[in-house]
């Protein structure tokens, strides 16, 4: 009988009955071999594991076309299964854990016939960090194996770290039959176990990402006193030479990746990227909130990314150094053998295949790339990567941003009165849905801390935990709320967004450094217009007013929405949040 890892792998192999078992080492040669296997895999229904792209334009890059029914996170098929429904809370699908496992055992039984079972030992976080966690993922997909290699620290270091211990995070994944009726992503926080079948899509299948680093890790953090968040991490150096670190939460497909590597429009400022999706934040021994990004790659939304909107990302994608870069469900320009997606260039090129692999007819009005088409790329290719990226202790956060996609109601920027008020505002954050999750896009849903699909326990307890963490910080970060997405009556965005968002970041730095005062309003502090530098922008006084308008009709609807959302938590909702809601109602 071997150690706990070997034993667990043997059990899973007995269940899934693969033809072969392969232990991934994480070497460059091995990745080449796995990519070769993916290139040779049979193409079915437009599905293609890997196709090499033009190396002179996109070196070491591969196109992946998924099964057309497998293109986004499947929230209705995602379950969090602690022993009781109350522990999962009203925000999660729940099933009694033993019942869930019985169902899964039947689906997993024999699911790897004719396939190879890949065992992937990986670390979330730098192994030298006290905050890092060792994990093992099993998968029968080479696309997933190569993606894990880009997104996490894969290799034997993890096995050494686990040693004789039984403590490691377990993820069992199979693409199964890619049948949406037999697709489940199920989490067992008590056992630090994820079982996922029927999908190869990143958010459902790269179990180190949403499944472990958010859902399971948030539950671990609740028990251990830290926060696992859906956040970017970035540092901004100002002309004084000081670096201010921010963490920022936005729902999926609201521009986190662009913000994490924003071009700082003003001379004398520099932006350093640490993460674009996940932050683990601990209270350090000197009582600061310190953040690490447990990942090593970026799995970003392709449409809308271009030299104009995010030049740093385009440089990252063209770097193709040591790690491969993957493009998933983009179109392909056949004459140049390069990927294309909506927004990459102003003119739509000729001679394209769409993301189904069919010749693209420009008159069809259809998408070339799927709206949730993605790239998977190593942070090591990113020209703005912070030299603190690997710092085992993380970076001290001075400002936290929360944002959503709102056509109205929410002003461009606003600062909470204090930590608790910030938790109240973040707990009631709303955002219009996007293509990152299956379902209707464009409807407002409450998405507290941008964690609605990712919180691995009862959200009422999660809000209480946020307040508790704040009480342990003598000088907590300032909390800001932004909305880059306000629209006019004709449905046009009224704020230019992208790099001009840096103007708002600069105001935040000035607030953090105590350089500027602010106006107190019913919803928080807002900038004195003289302090928000909009020079060079062609933006009228009326538009500025609209960006900061607090419309009573819109806000009474907002309060109603918050009340409705809070109602589902019953008496479990922290009293402080009810008090803040009452205060908001009065002051409006």
| Residues annotated as part of the active site | 254
Listed in sequence order, the residues at least 6 apart from 200 whose beta carbon sits closer than 8 Å to its beta carbon are 66, 67, 70, 141, 143, 144, 175, 178
DSSP codes, 136-173:
EEEES-HHHHHHHHHHSEESHHHHHHHTT-S--EEEEE
Q: Which is nearer to ligand OXD, 202 or 297 (CB)?
A: 202
Q: State the minimum distance, in angstroms, from the CB of residue 147 to Mn ion.
A: 15
Site for ligand OXD contains 73 (CB under 6 A): yes
| Helices 419-427 + 459-471 axis angle, to 10 | 160
Strand, coil or helix: 338: strand
Of these partners, Mn ion, ligand OXD, none, which one is at the site of residue 436 (CB under 5 to 8 Å by kind)?
Answer: ligand OXD
Q: Which is nearer to Mn ion, 297 or 574 (CB)?
A: 297
Strand partners of residue 275: 233
* List of residues contacting Mn ion (CB under 5 A): 252, 277
Q: State the minimum distance, in angstroms, from the CB of residue 277 to Mn ion.
A: 4
Of these partners, Mn ion, ligand OXD, none, which one is at the site of residue 158 (CB under 5 to 8 Å by kind)?
Answer: none
Q: Which is nearer to Mn ion, 66 or 244 (CB)?
A: 66
Q: Which is nearer to ligand OXD, 277 or 461 (CB)?
A: 277
Q: State the minimum distance, in angstroms, from the CB of residue 161 to ligand OXD.
A: 26
Structure-block tokens of residue 9: 């792998």
Number of residues that bind ligand OXD (CB under 6 A): 7
Comparing C-alpha atoms, which of 47, 91, 95 is closest to residue 71?
47
Candidate list 155, 171, 198, 203; residue touching ligand OXD; CB under 6 A: 203
Q: What's the CA dihedral at 528, 557, 451, 491 to 10 degrees? A: -70
Of these partners, ligand OXD, Mn ion, none, which one is at the site of residue 299 (CB under 5 to 8 Å by kind)?
Answer: ligand OXD
Residue nearest to Mn ion (CB): 277
Q: State the minimum distance, in angstroms, from the CB of residue 201 to ligand OXD.
A: 9
Comparing C-alpha atoms, which of 278, 550, 515, 541 is closest to residue 414?
550
Q: What's the CA dihedral at 14, 105, 165, 153 to 10 degrees? A: 90
Structure-block tokens of residue 294: 């447990």
Residue nearest to ligand OXD (CB): 252
Of these partners, ligand OXD, Mn ion, none, which one is at the site of residue 331 (CB under 5 to 8 Å by kind)?
Answer: none
Q: Which is nearer to ligand OXD, 374 or 478 (CB)?
A: 374
Site for ligand OXD contains 295 (CB under 6 A): no
Q: Which is nearer to ligand OXD, 79 or 299 (CB)?
A: 299
Listed in sequence order, the residues at least 6 apart from 388 whose beta carbon sits closer than 8 Å to its beta carbon are 235, 272, 274, 395
CB atoms within 10 A of CB 435: 19
Q: State the minimum distance, in angstroms, from the CB of residue 203 to ligand OXD.
A: 5
CA angle centred on 181, ends 177 and 186, rounded to 5°: 85
- Binding to ligand OXD, residues 423-442 (CB under 6 A): 436
Of these partners, Mn ion, ligand OXD, none, which one is at the site of residue 203 (CB under 5 to 8 Å by kind)?
Answer: ligand OXD
Q: State the minimum distance, in angstroms, from the CB of residue 293 to Mn ion.
A: 12
**Three-state secondary structure string covering 192-258:** CEEEEECCCCHHHHCCHHHHHHHHHHHHHHHHHCCEEECEEEEEEECCCCCEEEEEEECCCCCCHHH
Comparing C-alpha atoms, which of 205, 130, 124 is closest to residue 168?
124
Candidate list 277, 295, 354, 420; residue touching ligand OXD; CB under 6 A: 277
Q: Which is nearer to ligand OXD, 203 or 422 (CB)?
A: 203
Of these partners, ligand OXD, Mn ion, none, which one is at the site of residue 404 (CB under 5 to 8 Å by kind)?
Answer: none
| Helices 575-587 + 552-567 axis angle, to 10 | 160
What would the x/- binding string for ligand OXD be over residues 154 to 193, using CB under 6 A? ----------------------------------------
Q: State the minimum distance, in angstroms, from the CB of residue 316 to ligand OXD.
A: 16
Strand, coil or helix: 394: coil
Site for ligand OXD contains 200 (CB under 6 A): no
Listed in sequence order, the residues at least 6 apart from 155 whose beta carbon sits closer than 8 Å to its beta carbon are 25, 26, 121, 122
Give the up-direction half-sphere exposure of residue 197: CA atoms within 13 A in the CB hemisphere: 20
Distance between CA atoms of 150 and 147, rounded to whole angstroms? 5
Site for ligand OXD contains 132 (CB under 6 A): no
Q: Which is nearer to ligand OXD, 107 or 436 (CB)?
A: 436
- Binding to ligand OXD, residues 236-255 (CB under 6 A): 252
Of these partners, Mn ion, ligand OXD, none, which one is at the site of residue 288 (CB under 5 to 8 Å by kind)?
Answer: none
Site for ligand OXD contains 299 (CB under 6 A): yes
Task: List interacting residues with ligand OXD (CB under 6 A).
Answer: 73, 202-203, 252, 277, 299, 436
């Amino acid at each position: 009988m071997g150690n706990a890892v070997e034993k667990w792998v043997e059990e899973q192999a007995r269940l899934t009955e693969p033809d072969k078992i392969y232990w991934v080492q994480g070497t460059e040669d091995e990745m080449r071999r796995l990519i070769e296997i993916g290139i040779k895999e049979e193409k079915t229904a437009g599905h293609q594991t890997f196709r090499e792209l033009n190396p002179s334009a996109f070196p070491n890059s591969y196109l992946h076309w998924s099964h057309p029914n497998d293109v986004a996170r499947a929230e209705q098929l995602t379950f969090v299964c602690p022993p009781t429904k109350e522990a999962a809370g009203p925000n999660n699908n729940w099933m009694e854990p033993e019942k869930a496992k019985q169902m899964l055992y039947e689906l997993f039984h024999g699911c790897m016939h004719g396939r190879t079972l890949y065992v992937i030992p990986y670390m979330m976080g730098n192994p030298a960090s006290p905050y890092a966690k060792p994990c093992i993922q099993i998968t029968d997909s080479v696309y997933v194996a190569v993606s894990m290699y880009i997104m996490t620290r894969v290799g034997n270091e993890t096995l050494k770290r686990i040693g004789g211990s039984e403590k490691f995070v377990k993820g069992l994944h199979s693409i199964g039959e890619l049948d949406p009726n037999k697709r489940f992503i199920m989490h067992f926080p008590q056992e630090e176990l994820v079982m996922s079948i029927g999908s190869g899509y990143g958010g459902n299948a790269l179990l180190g990402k949403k499944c472990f680093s958010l859902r399971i890790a948030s539950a671990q953090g609740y028990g251990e006193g830290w926060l696992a968040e859906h956040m970017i991490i970035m540092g901004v150096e100002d002309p004084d030479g000081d670096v201010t670190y921010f963490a920022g939460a936005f729902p999926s497909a609201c521009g986190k990746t662009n913000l994490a590597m924003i071009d700082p429009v003003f001379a004398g400022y520099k932006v350093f990227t640490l993460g674009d999706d996940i932050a683990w934040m601990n209270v350090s021994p000197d009582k600061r909130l310190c953040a690490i990004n447990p990942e090593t790659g970026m799995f970003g939304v392709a449409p809308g990314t271009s030299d104009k909107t995010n030049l740093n990302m385009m440089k990252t994608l063209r770097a193709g150094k040591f790690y491969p870069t993957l493009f998933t469900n983009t179109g392909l320009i056949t004459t140049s053998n390069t990927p294309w997606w909506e927004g990459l260039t102003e003119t739509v090129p000729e001679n394209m295949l769409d993301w189904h692999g069919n010749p693209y007819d420009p008159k069809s009005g259809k998408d070339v790339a799927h709206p949730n088409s993605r790239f998977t790329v190593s942070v090591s290719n990113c020209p703005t990567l912070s030299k603190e990226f690997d710092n085992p202790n993380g970076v001290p956060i001075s400002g936290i941003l929360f944002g959503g996609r709102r056509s109205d109601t929410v002003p461009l920027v606003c600062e909470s009165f204090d930590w608790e008020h910030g938790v109240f505002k973040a707990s009631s954050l709303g955002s219009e849905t996007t293509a990152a999750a299956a379902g209707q896009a464009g409807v407002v849903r409450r998405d507290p801390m941008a964690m609605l699909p990712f919180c691995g326990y009862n959200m009422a307890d999660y809000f209480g935990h946020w307040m508790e963490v704040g009480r342990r910080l003598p000088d907590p970060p300032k909390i800001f709320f932004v909305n880059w997405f306000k629209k006019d009556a004709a449905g046009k965005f009224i704020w230019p967004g992208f790099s001009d968002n840096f103007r708002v970041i600069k105001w935040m730095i000035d607030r953090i450094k105590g350089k500027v005062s602010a106006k107190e309003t019913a919803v928080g502090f807002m900038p004195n217009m003289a302090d928000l530098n909009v020079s060079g922008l062609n933006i009228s006084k009326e538009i500025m007013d609209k960006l900061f308008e607090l419309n009573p009709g819109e806000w009474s609807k907002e309060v109603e929405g918050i009340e409705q959302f809070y109602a589902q938590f019953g008496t479990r909702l922290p009293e402080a949040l009810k008090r803040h809601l009452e205060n908001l109602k009065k002051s409006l």
